[in-house]
Structure 1
Amino acid sequence: MARITAADSMEAGSRRATAGSGRRSSGLLLNATSAQGGETRVLCEALRKLTAVTRAISSNLRNVNENLERILLDKEDIEELEKMLNALKVQ
C-alpha cells in the first residue's frame, strides 16, 4: 500500500477545490499552519500584499494618464513646429 504524505494530501485538496473551474489554487490556505496563525493571518498578509501592489499599479496608471494628457495638449504645438521645420527644409 502506498504511503500518503501531507504534501500529497494538500495537492489532492487543491485539485478538488479547483475541479471543473479550469484553474489551479495557489494553495495559500492549504499551507496555513497554526504556527503562522492559521488561515486568518495568512489571508491578512495576502490582503496586505495585494493592497500594496494595487496602490503601486494605480499610481503608475495615474502617471501614464498624466503623461498622455500632456502629450495630447502639446500635439497641436508639435504639429505646427513640424510644419515650420518642413517649410524651412523646402527653402
Structure 2
Amino acid sequence: MKKKEFKKLYGELNKTEKERASEEVEIFLETMKQAFSKYPKIVFRNFGTFEVKETKPREVFDPRRNGEIIKTKPRKFVKLKISKNLEEKLNNK
C-alpha cells in the first residue's frame, strides 16, 4: 500500500474529506519523525513497538572495484515489533 492509498483509506474509515485526511496523515508522519529523533523507542499498546536500531560498521566487497574491500558506515533504521494482540488478529483472518 502506498501513502496515497493509505490517505484514501484513512479518509474513508474516519469519514473525513480527502484534504483533511491527507493533512492528518502528514501530521502523524511528521510527529513520528520528530519523536524518533528524540526517543529511540515508541510503544503503541496493542499495536507494537517501533525502535531505532543501528547497523555496525563492517567490511564488504565492492563488485565495481574488482572485489576491493571497503568499510561501510553505521546507519540507523526503524524496526517494528508487533504486539501479540495484533499478531493474533492478523493470523486469525
* TM-score normalised by L of structure 1: 0.26
Q: Which structure: larger Rg?
A: 1
- When normalised by structure 2's length, the TM-score is 0.26
Higher strand share goes to which structure?
A: 2
Greater relative CO, 1 or 2 (CA 8 Å, sep 6+): 2
